[in-house]
Amino acid sequence: MAPPAKTDTKAAKKNRLPRNYPTEDGRKRLHPRQKFFKQHTHKLRSTISPGTVLILVAGRHKGKRVVFLKQLSSGLLLVTGPYHLNGCPLRRINQAYVIATKTKLNIKGVKLPDRLNDEYFKRQKLRKPKHAEGEIFDTKKEVYTVSDERKTDQAEVDKQLLDVIRKNPEKKLLFGYLGAMFSLKNKQYPHLMKF
C-alpha cells in the first residue's frame, strides 16, 4: 500500500498568541449597573458596636487598640485611641482593617460634636507656592499641620472617654490594655485566638 500524498497546505493556529505583552493591564471599565463603594449599603459587623475596643491591623497606627465611636454615612468607622493613652487621634477606618475584641466600654453618655462627619476628615489640598522671578529658591514647601478645631474636638472626646474608663471597675487594666500594642509571637495565629 502506498503512503498518502503530501499536500502543500499547512495547518496554522487560528488563535495565535500575541508577540508581545503590555507592561500594564488596561483599565477595566465598570459595568453600567455596578455601584461604587460610596453607593453601597454599609452593614456594620455584628461584633462591632459603639464602645467596642478594636485592634487596628493596617495603616499608620497598626497594632494599636482603639475605641469605636460611631459609623459614618460613608460606611467607615470613627475611632479614637484615646490620643492621651496611645497617640491614635480621631480618625476614620474601614471595618475590614480592624479586629473586634470582646472588651467594651459604656459610651452612652459620650457626646460627639455634630461636625464629626466625612467632610470633616477629607484631606485638604496644600497650596503649591507660585514661583516669581528671583524667588525660586526662597519659597518653602507647605507642610500639613493639625488645625485648632481638630485639637479641641480631640481633647473634648478624650476627656469624656477617659472619664468613662475611670468609672470602670477594671480601670487599671483598661488603661494598660489600651496603651499596649498588639503583636503576635511565634506559633500564635489570630484566626485561632479569641479576642
Position 51 pLDDT exceeds 90: yes
Task: State the cell numbers at 129.
Answer: 507656592
The rounded mean pLDDT for the chain is 85
Position 194 pLDDT exceeds 80: yes
Instruction: Specify the higher pLDDT residue, 145 or 90.
Output: 90
Query: What CATH architecture is 41-132+139-183?
Result: Roll (2.30)
The pLDDT > 70 percentage for the chain reads: 84
CA distance readout (Å), 163 to 14, 106, 157: 74, 11, 10
The model carries a pTM of: 0.73
Domain boundaries of the chain, sorted by first residue: 41-132+139-183
Position 38 pLDDT exceeds 60: yes
- Please check whether residue 160 is in contact with residue 110, taking contact to mean a CB–CB distance below 8 angstroms: yes
Position 31 pLDDT exceeds 60: yes
Question: What H or E segment, with its residue span, contains residue 83?
Answer: helix 83-86
3-state helix, strand, coil in the chain (%, to 5): 25, 15, 65
The pLDDT value given to residue 65: 96
Position 30 pLDDT exceeds 90: no
- Please check whether residue 147 is in contact with residue 153, taking contact to mean a CB–CB distance below 8 angstroms: no
Position 136 pLDDT exceeds 60: no
The pLDDT value given to residue 25: 75
Task: State the cell numbers at 83.
Answer: 490620643
- Please check whether residue 110 is in contact with residue 164, taking contact to mean a CB–CB distance below 8 angstroms: yes
Task: Write out the DSSP string of 134-156.
Answer: T-TTT---------HHHHHHHHH
Mean local confidence (pLDDT), 135-153: 77
Position 186 pLDDT exceeds 90: yes
- Please check whether residue 129 is in contact with residue 143, taking contact to mean a CB–CB distance below 8 angstroms: no
pLDDT in tens, 90-110: 999 999 999 999 999 999 999
Residue type, 78: L
The pLDDT value given to residue 7: 64
Question: What H or E segment, with its residue span, contains residue 67?
Answer: strand 65-71
pLDDT grade for 36, boundaries at 50, 70 and 90: confident
Mean local confidence (pLDDT), 118-137: 70
